[in-house]
Amino acid sequence: MGGGDGNRAHRARRIGVRVRLFAQLFADLDETTKTGAKVAAMVRYFAAADPADAAWAVYFLRGDRPKRLIPVRRLAAWAMQESSTPPWLFEECYNSVGDLAETISLLLPESQQSAGRPLHDWMENVVLPLAGEHESNQRSAIVGAWRELGGTERFVWNKLITGGFRVGVSQSLVVRALSQASGIPEAVMAHRLSGAWEPQPGAFANLMSQETSDAVVSRPYPFFLAHALEGGPETLGDPVNWQAEWKWDGIRAQLIRRRGQTFLWSRGEESVAERFPELEEASALLPDGSVIDGEILPWRDGRPLSFAHLQRRIGRKTLGKILTEVPVVLVAYDLLENGGADIRGQPLASRRALLERLLTAVRTGGRILLSPLVEVSDWEVVRAAHGQSREMGAEGLMLKLLDSPYGVGRRRGPWWKWKVNPFTIDAVMVYAQAGHGRRASLHTDYTFAVWKDAELVPFAKAYSGLTDAEIRSLDNWIRRNTLEKFGPVRAVRAEQVFELGFEGIQLSPRHKSGLAVRFPRILRWRTDKKPEEADKLETLHALMESA
């Protein structure tokens, strides 16, 4: 009998250690701004944690969170009752702390007990079932946990149930830590960690598995991204080493065909297959074990439609008519997996050859197109092509080293994006509004107008592009030249002219000017220009037609 009690006590201690481990991981991550120390803390955790708990830790570290299970208002009410704090005093405390989960854990009486449950048990048997529960059951579960947990554990618990769990580690740090803990290379780990994550012990075991021919069929590879090229390509050395193609303005995506199934992932690691059923259909004949990196583009008559068309499709819950109004294609840039083999380590030139062979052999109904190459015999030719980007419906050019492997994340050197200069126009500021955060007391948001006969018609808002000194000086001018106030918005004298840049332009019945511009920003404050020298609405229409 004594032995039985001893075993139970031993088990309780061991389990207690497990849940404290996660709270300790949180504290360790929270206590340092040094990435090395954060990685070391995660490595320690993964080495010691039960896979069932570690699976949940990965879930939270990736930034996944359960949907908010209980309204915070209820949590606050229960905390007030538990701590005998009147609402006004709770409010004072909250204002002083600035974080609800922390306020609650600071106000509750100290717990005399130590937690007896591992993290996965808390999540699966306490937290997740709360969602459908009656309020009184929710209350007893939450209050019970508060009484059971102490210190950091209670704070972490509150963070879990309020869904506000942020630990300040990027996905790449989590990948690095898992890689160090398992000995699996970072690229493989990044691949394993992308896509949806099920917080199950088996998933964690797969993550750490030394068997590297990964079985998870839906997983995309991490995207390889390019840096912006400023100026021109002449600094890149011999053009013979480079591949050039158009930079399209669509949705960067990975099309995966494995085990007779198609998966389509956007760069934000969202599954978008159901939004583009024609691509799923088009990939039906691709051999298993093919992964294509490309761009989803609205496409008609051999050229892309504007991004606004694609936005219409993204916004739609049911597709129907839009399928014919805005047809899409996948323009294929790269091949990452061929015949089931990860070929990212091969040079771009070989991957491109395999991609060409694949798309020649397979019928896709014209839905999967090979990204056309641009001639790179010398940089002058490339420059000339760059100048034609707009006519092609592209944003500029991509320049990629022919011997570059397909890397992870954004790295300087092997891949560059060379965007075309934006459209520019001179416009008059007509309204100003105060900004947020650091600039809350300054007018930083401006509305601009162009001339339509003798009238100024607003067509764009811009927030960025001026220096802090210019903003202060302009703010001063705005305060002295306000004609009228509408809440936070001030109508100002039409005197200041600005050169604006934007990426695209299209008709918009919602705007008074009848036009909408994409990514407007301030290029220069034209103190040398008078308002009557600003551009006319006809100029904008002409720009749109030329594009």
- Residue of 24, 85, 179, 404 interacting with another protein (CB under 8 A): 85
Distance from chain centroid for Cα 2: 56
Q: Which residue has tokens 């761009």? A: 295
Minimal distance in Å, beta carbon 293 to another protein? 39
Residue 106 binds to another protein (criterion: CB under 8 A): yes
Residue 92 or 380 with smaller CB distance to another protein = 92
Residue 99 or 186 with smaller CB distance to another protein = 99
Residue 97 or 188 with smaller CB distance to another protein = 97
Minimal distance in Å, beta carbon 434 to another protein? 24
Q: Which residue has tokens 């936005």? A: 311
Distance from chain centroid for Cα 539: 35
Max Cα-Cα span within the chain: 97
d(CA 488, CA 422): 30
Residue 106 or 392 with smaller CB distance to another protein = 106
On whether the CB atoms of residues 220 and 256 are closer than 8 A, the answer is yes
Residue 30 or 503 with smaller CB distance to another protein = 30
Minimal distance in Å, beta carbon 97 to another protein? 6
Question: What contacts 7, CB < 8 A, 6 or more positions away?
Answer: none
| Number of residues this chain uses to bind another protein (CB under 8 A) | 21
Among 38, 247, 400, 419, the active-site one is 247
Per CB under 8 A, which of residues 33..52 are in contact with another protein?
Answer: 33
Minimal distance in Å, beta carbon 54 to another protein? 23
Indicate the SS3 state at residue 320: coil
Residue 99 binds to another protein (criterion: CB under 8 A): yes
Residue 5 or 110 with smaller CB distance to another protein = 110
Residue 94 or 463 with smaller CB distance to another protein = 94
On whether the CB atoms of residues 337 and 290 are closer than 8 A, the answer is yes
Nearest in space to 295 (alpha carbons), one of 336, 338, 334, 353: 334
Per CB under 8 A, which of residues 151..190 are in contact with another protein?
Answer: 155
d(CA 237, CA 19): 56
- Residue of 93, 217, 369, 434 interacting with another protein (CB under 8 A): 93
- Residue of 6, 14, 32, 365 interacting with another protein (CB under 8 A): 32
Token digits for 177?
Answer: 């830590």
On whether the CB atoms of residues 105 and 147 are closer than 8 A, the answer is no
By rule CB under 8 A, what string of x and - marks binding of each residue 108-147 to another protein? --x-------------------------------------
Type of residue found at 460: A
- Residue of 31, 378, 391, 538 interacting with another protein (CB under 8 A): 31
Residue 99 or 356 with smaller CB distance to another protein = 99
Question: What contacts 538, CB < 8 A, 6 or more positions away?
Answer: none
d(CA 496, CA 477): 10
Residue 30 or 499 with smaller CB distance to another protein = 30
- Residue of 96, 136, 360, 467 interacting with another protein (CB under 8 A): 96
**DSSP codes, 151-194:** HHHHHHHHHHHHT-------HHHHHHHHHHHH---HHHHHHHHS
Per CB under 8 A, which of residues 370..409 are in contact with another protein?
Answer: none
Minimal distance in Å, beta carbon 130 to another protein? 25
- Residue of 12, 15, 97, 225 interacting with another protein (CB under 8 A): 97
Token digits for 427?
Answer: 């416009």
Backbone angles phi, psi at 368, to 5 degrees: -115, 110
Minimal distance in Å, beta carbon 116 to another protein? 22
By rule CB under 8 A, what string of x and - marks binding of each residue 286-325 to another protein? ----------------------------------------
- Residue of 92, 198, 281, 288 interacting with another protein (CB under 8 A): 92
Minimal distance in Å, beta carbon 29 to another protein? 12
- Residue of 4, 98, 315, 372 interacting with another protein (CB under 8 A): 98
Residue 86 binds to another protein (criterion: CB under 8 A): yes
Minimal distance in Å, beta carbon 154 to another protein? 13
Stretch that binds another protein, among 85-93, 309-317, 325-333, 538-546 (CB under 8 A): 85-93
Q: Is 159 a catalytic residue?
A: no
Minimal distance in Å, beta carbon 34 to another protein? 8
d(CA 262, CA 411): 29
Torsion sign, CA atoms 408, 413, 419, 425: positive
Minimal distance in Å, beta carbon 110 to another protein? 8
On whether the CB atoms of residues 427 and 501 are closer than 8 A, the answer is no
Residue 238 per-residue DSSP state? -
On whether the CB atoms of residues 399 and 373 are closer than 8 A, the answer is no
Q: Which residue has tokens 């946990």? A: 145
Residue 278 binds to another protein (criterion: CB under 8 A): no
Indicate the SS3 state at residue 375: coil
d(CA 39, CA 34): 9
Residue 158 or 346 with smaller CB distance to another protein = 158
Residue 346 binds to another protein (criterion: CB under 8 A): no
Nearest in space to 446 (alpha carbons), one of 507, 506, 494, 509: 494
d(CA 230, CA 237): 15
The residues carrying an active-site annotation are 247
* Residues forming the site for another protein (CB under 8 A): 30-33, 83, 85-86, 88-89, 92-93, 96-99, 102-103, 106-107, 110, 155
